[in-house]
Amino acid sequence: MFKIGCHLSSSKGYQNMAEEAHRIGANTFQFFTRNPRGGSAKAIDENDIAEFQKLAQEYGIEVILAHAPYTLNCCSDKPEVREFAINIMKDDLKRMEYTPNQLYNFHPGSHVGQGIETGIEYIIDALNMVLTAEQSTTVLLETMAGKGSEIGSQFEEIRQIIDGVKLQDKLGVCLDTCHVSDAGYDIVNNLNGVLEEFDKIIGFNRLKAIHLNDSMNPLGAHKDRHQKIGEGTLGIQTFEEIINHPSLKNLPFFLETPNELEGYEKEIAILKKLYV
């Protein structure tokens, strides 16, 4: 089954997201756990969750992906910024247990001049403080564009982070198509080669989700500007290959393109036609 969805607003709760997803032809979705700037989260409404679980059954929603606030930085040079990120992630993971066995994605962070090695150490420390043996949620490291001092644009960096974490079975990876292209991986001309490299360095067993975004910028630009599907430098053919690739086709795909709901609905319809 083709698992396709997009980023939705979580402001009206889980039930509303299920309804919205279903309305636009999606059977999965991504959402921010709280204000993307990292403010306090709305209390979990257990009724809303119960209604959501019913709808999810009815609509065939098996996977949902929560996204941590993108302003968190686990590897800041400021201790209070690192501590803030850790506290938010701990709280998010507690909330995730209301919808067990789902996915939680975060940006590894920016080392802000301290160097990649120091940054990676802080990210490992954070994950070792946040992850618990009891959690049912898989925490995903997102592949990044390498904008500024972002960590996680190279597969080797992600490997190094995983290697330092104690509870590795709680970890996965979310591959963002705009980000990997921006990072210098040529998925337009050499998708197979890039995926082989991913498998060799990180391992396909870690790959749990794909962010489907076209890019406004050329290969290796390190800019992180998403474009609508087929309207950027990746092009529609690349997306056709990605969603049908034997190693990817059973993963959940999430659009984070510059769209409102109608735009997402159109892109989902286009991708469904291309999925064989």
Residues that bind Fe ion (CB under 5 A): 142, 176, 211
Residue 142 or 157: the one with the smaller Cβ distance to Fe ion is: 142
Closest C-alpha to 75, from 161, 145, 177, 138? 161
CB atoms within 10 A of CB 115: 11
Question: How many residues belong to the site for Zn ion (CB under 5 A)?
Answer: 1
Burial class (CB in 10 A: 0-12, 13-18, 19+), 152: buried
Is 37 designated active site?
yes
Q: Which does 211 bind (CB under 5 to 8 A by kind): Fe ion, Zn ion, none?
A: Fe ion
Is 224 designated active site?
yes
Residue 224 or 267: the one with the smaller Cβ distance to Zn ion is: 224
Is 22 designated active site?
no
Is 176 designated active site?
yes
10 sits in the region (left: phi over 0; alpha: psi -120 to 50; else beta) called alpha
Which of these segments, 83-91, 150-158, 223-231, 247-255, binds Zn ion (CB under 5 A)?
A: 223-231
How many whole angstroms separate alpha carbon 95 and alpha carbon 97? 5
Which of these segments, 44-52, 134-142, 153-161, 216-224, binds Zn ion (CB under 5 A)?
A: 216-224
Asked if 224 interacts with Zn ion (CB under 5 A), we say: yes
Which residues fall within 8 angstroms of residue 48, CB to CB, at 6 or more apart?
Answer: 13, 14, 15
Which of these segments, 53-61, 77-85, 96-104, 220-228, binds Zn ion (CB under 5 A)?
A: 220-228
Q: How far is CA 179 from CA 43, 71, 150, 176, 219, in A?
A: 32, 17, 11, 5, 10
Residue 135 or 215: the one with the smaller Cβ distance to Fe ion is: 215
Residue 95 or 107: the one with the smaller Cβ distance to Zn ion is: 107
Q: Which does 224 bind (CB under 5 to 8 A by kind): Fe ion, Zn ion, none?
A: Zn ion
Is 111 designated active site?
no
Closest C-alpha to 232, from 190, 177, 167, 194? 177
How many whole angstroms separate alpha carbon 39 and alpha carbon 120? 25
Is 260 designated active site?
no
Residue 10 or 15: the one with the smaller Cβ distance to Fe ion is: 10
Min dist. Cβ of residue 183 to Fe ion (A):
12
Asked if 267 interacts with Zn ion (CB under 5 A), we say: no
Asked if 182 interacts with Zn ion (CB under 5 A), we say: no
Which of these segments, 35-43, 158-166, 219-227, 260-268, binds Zn ion (CB under 5 A)?
A: 219-227
Asked if 150 interacts with Zn ion (CB under 5 A), we say: no
Closest C-alpha to 196, from 141, 155, 250, 161? 155
Closest C-alpha to 52, from 87, 8, 90? 8
How many whole angstroms separate alpha carbon 129 and alpha carbon 159? 19
Structure tokens at 97: 């247990």
Catalytically active residues are: 37, 67, 70, 107, 142, 176, 179, 211, 224, 226, 256
Q: Provide the binding-site residues for Zn ion, judged by CB under 5 A.
A: 224
